[in-house]
Amino acid sequence: MQKPPKHHNRLHERHPDFMRAVDALGESVKHAGPLDQKTCELIQLAAAAASRSEGAVHSHCRRAQDAGATRDEVHHTLLLLTSTIGFPTVSAAMSWADDVIK
């Protein structure tokens, strides 16, 4: 697993209570229902792509792979968004995912 980005670490340094709460919320919602870790990460990958966040696409792509997602599953997750968020946004997200796919 990779280290968090520098800005994430800075937020932890500047606002430790807030970031602990954000981290706890993220963990809590992942365990609130029946979805497995890989599915949760693929959903978050899709949300990251939809919000056009390159850093979040990188992060959730890595996390999805760490949870067992294959390159094909990552690509399919993003391709499924085409009719919802548009080809240009999907294309950008695919390139961001390919930056980190093992």
Which token pair is 70?
Answer: 């294959």
Give yes or no: residues 48 and 97 share one domain.
yes
Banded pLDDT at 2 (limits 50, 70, 90): low
Cβ contact 41:67 at 8 Å: yes
Give me Rg for the CA atoms of the chain. Answer: 14
Q: What is residue 64's predicted lDDT score, i.e. its pLDDT?
A: 97
Banded pLDDT at 102 (limits 50, 70, 90): confident
Give yes or no: residues 11 and 40 share one domain.
no
Give yes or no: residues 98 and 68 share one domain.
yes
pLDDT at 7 over 90: no
Q: What is the DSSP string of 35-59?
A: --HHHHHHHHHHHHHHTT-HHHHHH
**Mean of the pLDDT values across residues 23-45?**
94
Banded pLDDT at 51 (limits 50, 70, 90): very high
Q: What is the mean pLDDT of the chain?
A: 93
Q: How many structural domains compose the chain?
A: 2
Give yes or no: residues 39 and 24 share one domain.
no
| Structural domain range at position 13 | 1-33
Q: What is residue 33's predicted lDDT score, i.e. its pLDDT?
A: 94
